[in-house]
Chain A
């Protein structure tokens, strides 16, 4: 059974940093690209960042470029999102999501989400 378990969400002050983790199990982690998708309270889904299966390629939404860094440790089956210079508008539930098939960046499995709140 595929499982994705996010952690690391917390209350952080504006300008602060946070690292999110997503522990994956139930599938061959190295085969699949992974992404982070967020959802602000009462709002729609927003893709944040993605990474290829071997970690060699990374992609970011324009608003996150330079502030967020996605990475993965395939030996630990874990996905990460390092978030720096956090802003109030980064407040959201952050989901990690698994790519359905190679070559199609749609997401067939999602974690339960971890809440990041940026506030003073």
Chain B
């Protein structure tokens, strides 16, 4: 199975600053990569699919990039509602696999 590794595990950022999250695949997944946001006690929310396509109603401050094995989620200017856990998911091969998540916390 394809192993997804996210870094860092925790990212401390001040409101208004830029956040850059990384996701690495153990083998190429082409652009078959999605990002989700999850807040405590809530289900995940799809942010990005096809590595860089924003899902419906996702603000433009969220952007995704990368292909192959290296991917990045960038939040250009963190808002209070963006502090959450972010997970990547590959859908290139079965079984589908998720990264362990990056927690974005208030600095």
- Where the two chains meet, the residues of A that have a C-beta atom closer than 8 Å to any C-beta of B are 35, 37, 44-47, 50, 59-62, 95, 100, 104-108, 110-113
Contacts and interface: CB of A to CB of B under 8 A. Distances in A.
Given A44-B101, A47-B97, A106-B89, A111 B43 contact: yes
A44 B97 contact: no
23 contacts: A37-B44, A44-B87, A44-B98, A44-B99, A45-B87, A47-B97, A47-B98, A50-B96, A59-B95, A59-B96, A60-B95, A62-B95, A95-B44, A100-B55, A104-B32, A104-B49, A104-B50, A107-B44, A108-B46, A108-B55, A110-B43, A112-B43, A113-B43
Given A106-B91, A108-B55, A108-B56, A45 B46 contact: no
Interface centre among A106, A110, A112, A113 (most CB of B within 10 A): A106
Given A107-B44, A110-B44, A61 B101 contact: no
Contacts, number: 58
B36 to A, nearest CB: 7
A35 B96 contact: yes
A45 B97 CA distance: 9
